Amino acid sequence: MTQSVRQLRLTFLLTLTLFSGALLAISGYTLWRLNADAVRAGFEISALHSRSFEDYLTQSLHVAELAAATAVSDSGGQPDLEAIEAAFLAILRHSPYLRSMSLLDEHGRIIASSNPANIDKTITLEGYLPPVNGPREILRIGAPWAGRDFSGGRPSTADAPLDADALSFIPVTRSLAFGDSTRTILIALNPDHFVNQMSQTLKLDTALIEVLRYDGTLLMTNDPEARTGAVNADDLSALMLTESEHGRFQHESGHSPSALSTFRASPLYPFIVVTHLYRDTALQGWRSEAKAVVFVVGAALLAVILIASAFYRRRIQLMAQRAEAERLQRINASVFESSAEAIVITDVNADIISVNAAFTRITGYEAAEVLGRNPRLLASGTHDRAFYTRMWTTLLNNGFWRGQLVNRRKDGTLYHVQMSITASRDPQGKLQHYIGDIVDITERKQAEERLHLAASVFTHAHEAIMITAPDGSIIDVNAAFSRMTGFSRKEALGQNPRILKSGRQSDEFYATMWKTLVENGQWSGEVWNRRKNGEVFAEMQTISAVHDEHGNIQRYVALFSDISRLKEHESQLEHIAHYDALTSLPNRVLLADRLHQAMAQAQRRKQRLAVAYLDLDGFKSVNDHHGHYAGDQLLMTVSTRMRQTLREGDTLARLGGDEFVAVLVDLDAVADSVTMLTRLLAAAAQPVHVDDLVLQVSASVGVTFYPQTEEVDADQLLRQADQSMYQAKLSGKNCYHVFDADHDRSVRGHYESLERIRQAMTEHELVMYYQPKVNMRTGMVVGAEALIRWQHPEKGLLLPASFLPVIENHPLSIELGEWVIDSTLSQMEAWHAHGLELHASINVGARQLRDPGFVDRLREILSAHPQILPSCVELEVLETSALEDLAGVAEIIQACRDLGVKFALDDFGTGYSSLTYLKRLPVAQLKIDQSFVRDILDDPDDLAIVESVLGLAAAFRRQVIAEGVETVEHGELLLQLGCELAQGYGIARPMPAEAIPGWCASWRPDPTWQTCRTVRRSALPLLFASVEHRAWISAMIQYFKGERGAPPPLDRHECAFGKWLDAGGLNHRRGDKAWEQIQSLHRAIHELGTQLCTLHDQGRQIELERGMCDLLELRDTLILQLRSLIQLAERPARRRTKYLPEESVEQRSLTAGTGK
């Protein structure tokens, strides 16, 4: 099958498919729209029946309700039961939808009824809708009852609905007020009446009507199989009563046909009417229409397919005929088109009637461009008219012409052709056409020209050319070769190029040259050769290998030119570039090269080198007083003398003016340079005679050595020597000064650190973290401390201790401090915008605080953040910062307080005049340093310090906060001491600003903190006793771990806790069971400690580790006993007197620092 046939088939199938698809799509859309219209009409019919039956049922109930209410109301304040019963009977005679009407008393007992059998029957009103606890005077509907009336009936439930064929009625109540009491009308609705109305309206096989309570209970239906009283959850979930009082939905159920359902809720009573119009009934008309549409569309589609198939077969036949004709034409033209030579066919008038593909390839003309035109369009203009006359004369006389000519392509380029023209005649000899056969010989002509040109270049070139055989023997040279080398052509032929070898280049050089030539096919470089007269000269030579078509080397061609004058000029330039013109000493460029080489040599030989930077003292005065000539003579003489004092491997260079550098190599020690430095100073200081003048200068020398502790380069060595030279001048001149690497490294490192911190501020690498401060007892978050961090791109998050000390006494610390205040206030504004009102404390450094413009800058920053009240900002100043200028700091703090900003004294207790600070500094808060708080659990001294600080704060009416709260036990002990405010890792670590709101919302204090009370002073010895006991256990553990040289006292009467027990802890409590348990535990602990020391000395590690666990358990038990005694101390006084009487300061104190 050909491509055209396949394409036609594909087009046919695609067109037919698209047409059929479009037709089917239109038909499907039409059927879908008809179906939608039928469904919409079905829903409208269903809704009409729902509305109609709901109106009928509502009106029926309304009439019954009004009639019953009227009947009861007419009886007056006290009901006349006989009159009411007569009224009920009158109503029933005109209301076939009612079974009975009754009146209930307040207890649900029927006291009057249209059916005497109902009298005295008690009716439970639970489960009625609306509920009984709602409005009183409203009609309520109960679940269906089995039977004809209440006298013989029973109520249904959701779990026990009525049978489908059971006689039933629906109870309805209406409460009425009779004076101070309430009576209820009870009506039994006849559902059969309403079901008959349903059946008359709709046939059972077309639709189904249900009446439901709001809770889904089925009250009545025309479905003979339905059980009234059941809860219809499927319908209830689809009703969407909370959204609308009427609506529609598709009813799908496994036990009933699919239906178009609508519902309508009664506006007065708690029931819903649901009409299910069976879908098959609603779509009956649509199915008839659909069958007609399908028939018409199918017939049309079949007709189209038949017509299209006939058309397709006819097209296939025509294409087959055309393909056969084209095949025959291709066969006839195959020879013409496949020829590699251009073929041109003309008519008798020489107008072109046909050309082949080769013609287009050679000339550039397409066939369409030349058909009907004369071949003279290819004429190049290089042949005269006589040439073409002779060609046509020969062709007409002989019927054939052959020759070469130059033609012009379409793009204008010329080309050479070998052409033959033949006159074609018919059998009668009549001329039919001319056939031209054209061969492009342009490349052959160009090759001939190249050979001619190469011969001319070889002969007349100014560069020497030498051609050798693959074995190296010379087979030809040009005239320039003879002029350059002195060898004639005859003398050179057959010789090896080694006749030119000068001997200045090694055998390795020639081996590398031949290796490159073999691998790459050419080599280029400088070669030193020897002329016939023995003179050595430099030449730039290029050697190329010439290969045949198989890649075999046929010959080598060497082209070279004499560059002797160029080399001489380069040598002069080399000297000028590397040596000083006046003194002939190495200049800065050559010095750098030699210094690099000397440094590398020192590394290899494990030796040292010295770099001496020399500056002539008094040289400017010589130039100013005696002129530049005298100065130049002085420089030349002094440089010669200094150079003569150095060794052969040393270097003396002139940098310019009167500055020199000496590089002293191969030093085993620094001291080895002293002699040479002294000689340099002496040589520079010798008098110099210039004409009749005697001139004298001296030198200042700066010296540095290599290698050094840190890696340094040549430029750093020169800078170090230069710095030391200036130190030598400052020291009095005519001397040398050795560079101090440690001092330089310290200064340089400090500067680099400052610049890096400044860069961090510019590139926004510094970030703020915040650590919450809380009231441990109430759980309130009272604020957050702003803490700076460095988000280093390489080292990660850095704490302030790693970079703030660098700028401590630098102006940069002021700039950074202002940035911290501004950033914190901006963050407070962001929190404020999100509803978080949080105070913030900011650390202020000593330099920033004492800056004269501190208060003004603080005022400006506060003004830039008007949403933040100054009272929400607290500045923390270190106690040690205030120590240097107490009066000045006090004035600054007072000025800030005038702005509304509060101050806190940070790290309180670490200074030397804490009482002075409290008296003279107007701070609002003291912060206990974490170094004291961290160890209060097992260090009695720290506990005593914390208690003292709390006492001072109370005495001076200062608020106090503790930092360093790392565990629940820390917080509990602080609360017992009376400190409620705290911060630390046990509460929260410093966190990014975005994490603060979530933490504040979720944080809750530990339950033990909320119930922990501040102990009385009488119970403080117990706290100290617990800490002393912990301290003894910690010391014992440290001894076992090798962190302590000796164990603590093993005698239980010698430890601090034991001394306290002996002195006051137990003296007045003999016979108390709790104290006896403490004494017993203390004794057991010391006995176990003695045993563990023995195990430690014996190296019994496994048993020692087990015993340590027992020791820790005994410690915890003893601490629990002490804690229970602390709790007892907080009980009423008469019981507290029994266990914990007041003690003297001496009895209470465990260490010198705990007394008050």
Angle at 994 between CA 990 and CA 995, to 5 degrees: 50
User: Is residue 415 pLDDT above 50, yes or no?
Assistant: yes
- pLDDT bucket at 84, cuts 50 / 70 / 90: confident
Same domain, 431 and 526: no
Q: What is the pTM of this model?
A: 0.42
- pLDDT bucket at 1156, cuts 50 / 70 / 90: very low
Same domain, 702 and 560: no
For residues 874 and 904, the answer to whether their CB atoms sit within 8 Å is yes
Same domain, 38 and 166: yes
Q: Would residue 150 count as lying in a domain? A: yes
CA separation for the pair 227, 995 (Å, rounded):
62
For residue 670, what is the DSSP state? G
The dihedrals phi and psi of 793, each to the nearest 5 degrees, come to -65, -20
**pLDDT reported for residue 98:** 92
- pLDDT bucket at 136, cuts 50 / 70 / 90: low
Burial class (CB in 10 A: 0-12, 13-18, 19+), 389: exposed
**pLDDT reported for residue 665:** 94
Domain boundary among 1011, 1046, 1078: 1011
**pLDDT reported for residue 643:** 94
Higher-pLDDT residue of 448, 243 = 448
Q: How many domains does the chain have?
A: 6
Q: Name 1114's Cβ contacts closer than 8 Å, sequence gap at least 6.
A: 1081, 1084, 1085, 1088
Which ranges in 373-520 belong to alpha helices (H)?
Answer: 385-398, 442-460, 479-485, 489-492, 507-520
519-540, pLDDT tens digit by residue? Answer: 888 999 999 999 999 888 889 9
pLDDT average, residue stretch 430-453: 84
For residues 118 and 104, the answer to whether their CB atoms sit within 8 Å is no
User: Is residue 1146 pLDDT above 50, yes or no?
Assistant: no
**pLDDT reported for residue 787:** 95
**pLDDT reported for residue 1152:** 26
| CATH at 760 | 3.20.20.450
User: Is residue 648 pLDDT above 50, yes or no?
Assistant: yes
Q: Which one, of 607, 596, 614, 605, lies nearest residue 716 by Cα?
A: 596
User: Is residue 135 pLDDT above 70, yes or no?
Assistant: no
pLDDT average, residue stretch 222-246: 73
Q: Would residue 153 count as lying in a domain? A: yes
pLDDT average, residue stretch 253-264: 78
Mean pLDDT of the chain: 85
pLDDT average, residue stretch 947-962: 88
Q: Which range has the worst mean pLDDT, 82-91, 210-219, 444-453, 646-655? A: 444-453
Percent of the chain residues past pLDDT 90, beyond the cut: 32
**pLDDT reported for residue 750:** 65
User: Is residue 1147 pLDDT above 60, yes or no?
Assistant: no
Higher-pLDDT residue of 312, 1034 = 1034
pLDDT average, residue stretch 837-849: 90
| CATH at 644 | 3.30.70.270
**pLDDT reported for residue 830:** 95
Domain boundary among 520, 539, 568: 568
Q: Which residues of 1061-1074 are buried (b: 16+ CB within 10 A; e: fewer)?
A: beebbbeebeeeee
Q: Name 781's Cβ contacts closer than 8 Å, sequence gap at least 6.
A: 772, 773, 774, 838, 1000, 1003
Q: Would residue 132 count as lying in a domain? A: yes
Same domain, 962 and 889: yes
Same domain, 218 and 279: yes
Q: Would residue 411 count as lying in a domain? A: yes
pLDDT average, residue stretch 929-934: 88
Domain boundary among 739, 772, 801: 739
1114-1141, pLDDT tens digit by residue? Answer: 888 888 888 887 777 665 433 333 323 3
**pLDDT reported for residue 881:** 55
Higher-pLDDT residue of 667, 321 = 667
Q: Which range has the worst mean pLDDT, 158-162, 349-353, 774-778, 906-910? A: 906-910
Same domain, 778 and 879: yes
Indicate if the alpha-carbon torsion angle 199, 202, 207, 213 is positive or negative: negative
Q: Which range has the worst mean pLDDT, 23-37, 766-780, 910-924? A: 910-924
User: Is residue 79 pLDDT above 90, yes or no?
Assistant: no
From its phi and psi, is residue 333 left (phi > 0), alpha (psi between -120 and 50) or beta? Answer: alpha
pLDDT average, residue stretch 642-669: 93
Same domain, 792 and 933: yes
Same domain, 895 and 933: yes
The dihedrals phi and psi of 712, each to the nearest 5 degrees, come to -130, 155
1072-1111, pLDDT tens digit by residue? Answer: 677 788 888 888 999 998 999 998 888 888 888 888 898 8
Q: Would residue 22 count as lying in a domain? A: no
Q: Would residue 1156 count as lying in a domain? A: no
Q: Are strands 207-213 and 110-113 parallel, antiparallel or unpaired?
A: unpaired
Same domain, 98 and 225: yes
Percent of the chain residues past pLDDT 70, beyond the cut: 90
Same domain, 610 and 694: yes
| CATH at 273 | 3.30.450.20
**pLDDT reported for residue 879:** 55
Same domain, 412 and 488: no
pLDDT average, residue stretch 909-936: 76
Range of 526's domain? Answer: 461-568
The CA-to-CA distance between both ends of the chain, in Å, stands at: 116
Higher-pLDDT residue of 255, 898 = 898
What is the DSSP annotation of 803-834? TGGGGTTSTHHHHHHHHHHHHHHHHHHHHHHT
Q: Would residue 197 count as lying in a domain? A: yes
Higher-pLDDT residue of 1020, 272 = 272
Q: Would residue 323 count as lying in a domain? A: no
Q: Are strands 925-928 and 902-908 parallel, antiparallel or unpaired?
A: parallel
**pLDDT reported for residue 137:** 73
**pLDDT reported for residue 864:** 94
For residues 634 and 622, the answer to whether their CB atoms sit within 8 Å is yes
Same domain, 512 and 619: no
CA separation for the pair 236, 230 (Å, rounded):
12
